[in-house]
Each structure stands twice: as C-alpha cells, then as structure tokens.
C-alpha cells in the first residue's frame, strides 16, 4: 500500500480536524498554521490507492454547527495532499513532489 502525507498548511486558526478513513478516525488534532513556515500539521497514512478520505473540521466560532466535511480520493501518483483553510473551508490539492517549508 502506498504512503500518503496529508499536509495541513496555511489559514488554520485553531480548527478541530478529523481525518476519517472507512468510518474510522485516523487522526484528530487542532490545526493552527505557524506564521513562520505556513505549516499546521502533517498526517502520514498508508492507504490503498484510490481510497476515499473524509476531512472534517469544526471551528470554535460556530460550535453548534455540524462539522464541515470534504471527501477526497487519494492517488498514488500524487501522494502529497496539501490542505489549506480558506473562506469556504478546505482547499485541497495534490502533488507528486514533497512541499518544502522553512
């Protein structure tokens, strides 16, 4: 099975994040982007190619709202999944090259 890295980067200000695979939470953390590097958190996972992964986020400014959720499908040709937080929630892109941070 291929190894994937889910790299949570810019825009996170304390959102609670869950990474869910097949209904099982595989990572749970509070994401806060570091000003100096633009990186909040990295989650390494070994998964089958073409597996679906659900990203969920909750925010402290909307505690009674259901979590924002986005489903993505991983691809072994682009094992680095870069996730930023934008005005509409998750902004996801994938790349074959490991992103660099300071």
CB 99 within 8 A of CB 80: yes
Tell me how far CA of residue 83 lies from CA of 50, 64, in angstroms.
18, 24
pLDDT at 102 over 80: no
Write the pLDDT tens digit of every residue in 46-100: 999 999 999 999 876 666 667 789 999 999 999 999 999 998 889 999 999 999 8
Q: How far apart are CA 44 and CA 27, in angstroms?
A: 9
Length of the chain: 102
What pTM was computed for the model? 0.91
The CATH number that domain 3-95 falls under is: 2.60.40.180
**What's 100's DSSP letter?**
P
What are φ and ψ of residue 87, in 5° steps? -65, -25
């Amino acid at each position: 099975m291929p190894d994937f890295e889910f790299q949570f980067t810019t825009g996170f200000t304390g959102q609670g994040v869950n990474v869910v695979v097949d209904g099982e939470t595989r990572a749970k953390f509070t994401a806060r982007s570091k000003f100096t590097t633009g990186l909040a958190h990295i989650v390494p996972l070994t998964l089958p190619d073409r597996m679906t992964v659900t990203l969920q986020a909750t925010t402290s400014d909307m505690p009674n709202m259901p979590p924002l959720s986005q489903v993505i499908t991983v691809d072994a040709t682009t094992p680095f999944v870069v996730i930023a937080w934008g005005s509409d929630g998750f902004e996801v892109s994938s790349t074959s090259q490991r992103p660099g941070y300071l």
